[in-house]
Structures are given as structure tokens and as C-alpha cells.
Amino acid sequence: MKRFITIIIALFFASSLFSQETNESNRGTITVQKRGTLSKIQFDDVNYRLIGIDQYGNVLDSAVLEFQMSVTIKGVFYAEQTVGSALTYKMQQQLGRCDRSSKIFFDKIKAKDQNGTVVEMPKFQYSFGYRDENNE
């Protein structure tokens, strides 16, 4: 009888040790992506839209609220303003008529920061042409 009780107690402790070991082996690491304040705006030439970049390099898709795009094509200046982050159909048509040396200017950019405040972002230019890194 004493052996039977000792075997049952030993099995009970052994099973509790194995259950604790499986819990320990399933532990993982949770990584939290840092979110910061909006630091700059970039032109996404694949999706034809403006995206916001925060101070840690995270892409903020819905950051841009409105902007104006202006370009000079064969001596004629075009400017158009839009609401949202995507280029309008007319803007995309103008980009299609640009040559490799054209520079596109984005200004009057209003964007929403992480905490919801509307901020005025600095203007910037984008060039489709080939850039020689040695001459710039």
C-alpha cells in the first residue's frame, strides 16, 4: 500500500513538472512597433499617391489629407489641388506626358499626425529622370 501511494505521488509530481515544462517552452517574445510623429512625406510612384513617414520609418498610409501638384510640361505650367492622398486621373495624365527631365512639385500639403492634429508639411519635388549621384 505504501508503494502504491508513493507511485501515485511520484506520478502526480512528474505530470505537474511536464506541464510546467511545456508552458515554459511555448513562451515567445512580443515585439511592439514604435510609432512616432510624422516627419516627412514621400511620393509613391507605383501607386500614385503621397505617403507619410514617421520618425521611426513607419509608413502612414492615411496621413495626407490634401495637397497640390504642379509641373511644367513643354513650357506650360500645370497646377492642380486634390483632397486625399491619391493623385487624380487628371494628375496621372499629366505625369504620363512628362519627359525624363521634368520635375514635379508637391506643395500645400496638409497631413494628419498620429494624435489627429492637422499639420502643414514642407513642399518637396520629385524627378522622374536619371540622377547621377556624382554630379548632385
94 vs 2, which has greater pLDDT? Answer: 94
Question: Could you tell me the three cell numbers for 14?
Answer: 512528474
Looking at the DSSP bridge assignments, the partners of residue 110 are 66, 120
Least confident of 18-27, 86-95, 115-124: 18-27
Contact 80, 68 (CB under 8 A): yes
Q: What is the rounded (10 degree) CA torsion for 73, 77, 81, 84?
A: 20
Give me the chain's average pLDDT, please: 80
pTM above 0.85, yes or no: no
Would you state the cell numbers that stand for residue 78, as one nine-digit string?
A: 500645370
Nearest residue to 82 (alpha-carbon basis) of 65, 94, 102:
65
Letter for the amino acid at 10? A
Taking alpha carbons only, the member of 89, 86, 9 closest to residue 48 is 86
- pLDDT surpasses 70 at 45: yes
Q: What residues does each domain of the chain span?
A: 38-124
Q: Which of 13-17, 30-34, 88-92, 132-136 has the lowest mean pLDDT?
A: 132-136
pLDDT at 19 > cutoff 70: no
Q: Scan for cell 512625406, then name that residue.
A: 41
Residue 106 clears pLDDT 80, i.e. is over it: yes
What three-state secondary structure class fits 55? coil
Measured between alpha carbons, how far is 132 from 86 in angstroms, rounded to an integer? Answer: 29
Is residue 41's pLDDT more than 50? yes
Among 29-33, 43-47, 57-61, 68-72, the range with the most confident prediction by mean pLDDT is 68-72
Confidence at residue 81, expressed as pLDDT on a 0 to 100 scale:
93
